[in-house]
Amino acid sequence: MLFHMLAEEPIQFFRIVAIVIISITLHELGHGLAALSQGDNTPRKTGHLTLNPLVHMGWESIVFLCVAGIAWGQMPVNPSKFRSAKFSNILVSAAGPMVNLALGILCIALMKLLVVSDATEIFSINFLHLAAQINLMLFLFNLLPIPPLDGFHVFSELFPFLKPLDDGRCGLFGLMILLLIPDFNAGLAAIADLIIKALSGM
């Protein structure tokens, strides 16, 4: 439970909450802008082209994040308005995780820049490392081919035989099993750290 960290490591708690909220908000905006580029104006009509995290996450998600360390967001889109049923769906679905990947790489680049410029006393390397780690974990998690994650929509377009598995109950059951595995988050974090080490050389 993330809430336990509030008493023991309050600064780390607020860092994680802030990074996750910003990352999910930008993730959802990525979906929305991609949908807009593919001819779907639903994100604009519903008021979701905003930086307001409450619009994308809602109070429930933010509270659940603070208590349990789990959060979610949503971006309403209408695939029937996409220019291409296949390509547009892949692009829009992949846009969110790619935003997280880009944010992770940006944080890694800033880490390297701080070390080279010897400005580590001015800015926090640990904060940037945490931001990179969280965004890379979000990238990896969301690309898992499990409904309703973005990865399922990408892979089901590439491998149509997966489409019958697009069942909300089935997907939620699969996600619950994953999240109940004690080492699942630790595994994602370890992979993220390997990527950070490989790209930063640190």
Structural domain boundaries of the chain? 4-200
Q: Nearest to residue 31, comparing CAs of 175, 171, 128, 153?
A: 153
Q: Residue 180 and residue 175: Cα distance in Å, rounded?
A: 8
- Write down how long the chain is: 202
Q: pLDDT value at position 178?
A: 79
pLDDT tens digits, one per residue of 148-184 = 899 999 999 999 888 777 766 666 777 777 777 878 8
State yes or no: pLDDT of 191 exceeds 90: yes
| Cα dihedral 132, 107, 73, 75 in deg (nearest 10) | -140
State yes or no: pLDDT of 71 exceeds 80: yes
- Region of residue 69 (phi > 0: left; psi between -120 and 50: alpha; otherwise: beta): left
pTM across the whole model: 0.92
Q: What percent of the chain shows pLDDT beyond 70?
A: 94
Catalytic positions are: 28
How many other β-carbons are positioned within 10 Å of the β-carbon of residue 185? Answer: 15
Q: pLDDT value at position 119?
A: 62
Buried b / exposed e over 143-175, threshold 16 CB at 10 Å, is bbbbbebbbbbbbbbeeeeeeeeeeeeebeebb
Q: pLDDT value at position 6?
A: 81
